[in-house]
Structure 1
């Protein structure tokens, strides 16, 4: 099989099973590991498309004992997934209940209502339950929303009932609703959903629309306590198309979350394991623009391409590709900073730029926030970087979690290159002007095939610039 036949920017080559197997993370990875949850979470699950499945699937992974509860209604039949059910009558009974020895999943819930559903615990009871679980270091998982079994939803005025003491929140959405019409068949409270997304009822649910609602402060982020960790789960991604769609939603919302997963939970049919298709983590973008441009004779990153400086063009593409944060490393020419005005980028000055590209890499790594799990390094003189390519690197990393991922054009490695956090220590020990390739022997490279040969072009001399301008003029309408 020749990889060059497949184009990653539309992700169509993932449909080839052999390539998917080579790239994919462990499909049976535990949910707890995929989400990187702590040993004793105090966690709420909200949204739609598999909350109860997630509640009990996660509970199964916490041993020897775990408490599950609810602040929204829970079906009596759903409670059958617990090993023991306690209907709480008085909040003061909670310490005594938790003092009793038990193993497995203990559901502490309210009394049943006239419709055969367990009521959610009220504020006093759930607050005390959280306190006692934290004191005894017992994992606590709470379903804190309702959706009438629909894959997508907009919260009502009183929803979701997330306790303020919650430390982690998982926002769920069901991929079975992706691409479907915006109506009550697929979306609970579809009229409210249309207002949040600013689209019309009946419109097809695009990745942009769904991402807008999930990341909206009155949508998926509603009522999440300020200091809580935020996660998302895109469930029901049973086909490659749904996984691709879910990935396009994921990269749009990732800046609002700490981590996210595209998966197939398969309900609570425990004979069928959970499948983890993709794990999305924060990825930063770093534009390297500190060099002297000695052969060119002036700062080449300030060359204007189609009316804007090259470095600004590249920084904008990084932002459009949902890289967060975006850092621009300057050095020999401090005036580069002025070309980046009004862009949401962090400008990092490298006082040691004369020591070569490795010094800029170190400055950038040192400036990255702790939550960033990977970085894409972009060269400031590479005019044909596209948002499509950067997104493809993000998706490839979500699928494989490979330590280093690079595009390959006609068998030749190209830039930009993604480095995961596991490579950061080695990047910090580099010297000279060779850049990240100094560590390629230690870490296996994963390549994504790319067809655009222009990606191999950069600007080192005036002749390079002249050839570049001819290409741009030739491709202009």
Structure 2
């Protein structure tokens, strides 16, 4: 089975995670497998000190890469703007991450939007915050949303999901709906730079039933969007289930 780094084409460059239902888990799985990885964000991100060797809070992340101190050898390295609260950090604006990516000689892993722990989402007018230097953008959705109600308990911004899929609030979430969200230019494919590659990820594929549903999602994505592959994964176990091309 494909390694998650290969499946997501994440060995180098700037890799951005958007969507819901596994962004952070995927981010940290990649960081643990990559040499000289930097973990950062263009939005708020929960405290992740246990997932990296060191975290630096700084207004100048480029300088932190070459300060002659611990951060020059402490990888994976977390770089964030500040600790905003006890439970979260504040990220950088996309232009600052662009500068960081140009200065760093390793992969830069970016959390580029938020979902408040929901399993599916569609972005608002300010989201996602993707740097121009992004090489790969990974829109994420959890297969666990399927069968649930299109409501705020499962979906971040359910009204926006409804608007781009012609669904109604309260409808049952189907593989068709999840696939259309991932494939939509106002959903998973929003604001992806022209030179970047989109690789949708269907997460939480825990059993045969989940896999069957995830394959339906992948089929819908391929029907509606020009992407090279859709990755099916169980990221809590750091496992790629399949790559659907």
Q: Is the TM value for this pair above 0.5?
A: yes
Q: Report SS of the residue matched to 1:196.
A: helix
Match of 1:148 among 116, 123, 137: 116
Q: How many residues align?
A: 242
Give the Cα separation in 1 of the matches to 2:62 and 2:129.
21
Match of 1:106 among 61, 77, 90: 77
Q: Which residue of structure 1 lines up, in the alignment, with residue 55 of structure 2? A: 85
Q: C-alpha deviations, 1:237-256, integer Å up to 9, x for none?
A: 11211111110010111243
1:94·1:128 contact (CA, 8 Å) conserved in 2?
no
Q: Which residue of structure 2 lines up, in the alignment, with residue 179 of structure 1? A: 147
Give the Cα separation in 2 of the matches to 1:81 and 1:73.
16
Q: Which residue of structure 2 lines up, in the alignment, with residue 193 of structure 1? A: 161
Q: CA deviation at 1:61?
A: 1.1
Q: Which residue of structure 1 lines up, in the alignment, with residue 13 of structure 2? A: 41
Give the Cα separation in 1 of the matches to 2:159 and 2:22.
22
1:94·1:129 contact (CA, 8 Å) conserved in 2?
no
Q: CA deviation at 1:98?
A: 8.3
2:65·2:72 contact (CA, 8 Å) conserved in 1?
no
The TM-score, its normalising length taken from structure 2, stands at 0.92
Structure 2, unmatched stretches of 5+, are none
Give the Cα separation in 1 of the matches to 2:144 and 2:77.
30
Over 3 Å counting, the alpha-carbon distance change for 1:140 and 1:241 in structure 2 is same
Over 3 Å counting, the alpha-carbon distance change for 1:198 and 1:75 in structure 2 is same
Q: Which residue of structure 1 lines up, in the alignment, with residue 5 of structure 2? A: 32
Runs of 4+ in 1 over 6 A off after TM superposition: none
Q: CA deviation at 1:199?
A: 0.8
Match of 1:203 among 171, 191, 212: 171
Q: Which residue of structure 2 lines up, in the alignment, with residue 277 of structure 1? A: 241
Structure 1, unmatched stretches of 5+, are 1-25, 267-272, 282-477
User: What does 1:434-453 align with in structure 2 at a 5 Å threshold?
Assistant: none
Match of 2:90 among 119, 126, 132: 119
Q: Which residue of structure 2 lines up, in the alignment, with residue 287 of structure 1? A: none
More helix by share: 1
Q: CA deviation at 1:258?
A: 2.1
Give the Cα separation in 2 of the matches to 1:278 and 1:198.
29
Over 3 Å counting, the alpha-carbon distance change for 1:98 and 1:213 in structure 2 is farther
Give the Cα separation in 1 of the matches to 2:133 and 2:65.
18
Q: CA deviation at 1:70?
A: 0.6
Q: CA deviation at 1:80?
A: 2.4
Q: Report SS of the residue matched to 2:99.
A: helix
1:87·1:109 contact (CA, 8 Å) conserved in 2?
yes
1:212 aligns with 2:180: yes
Q: Report SS of the residue matched to 1:241.
A: helix
Over 3 Å counting, the alpha-carbon distance change for 1:97 and 1:257 in structure 2 is farther
1:109·1:119 contact (CA, 8 Å) conserved in 2?
yes
The TM-score, its normalising length taken from structure 1, stands at 0.49
Q: Which residue of structure 2 lines up, in the alignment, with residue 256 of structure 1? A: 226
Q: Which residue of structure 1 lines up, in the alignment, with residue 198 of structure 2? A: 230
Over 3 Å counting, the alpha-carbon distance change for 1:277 and 1:38 in structure 2 is closer
User: What does 1:256-335 align with in structure 2 at a 5 Å threshold?
Assistant: 256-266=226-236, 273-281=237-245
Give the Cα separation in 2 of the matches to 1:83 and 1:184.
35
Over 3 Å counting, the alpha-carbon distance change for 1:245 and 1:48 in structure 2 is same
Q: CA deviation at 1:149?
A: 0.2
Q: CA deviation at 1:120?
A: 1.0
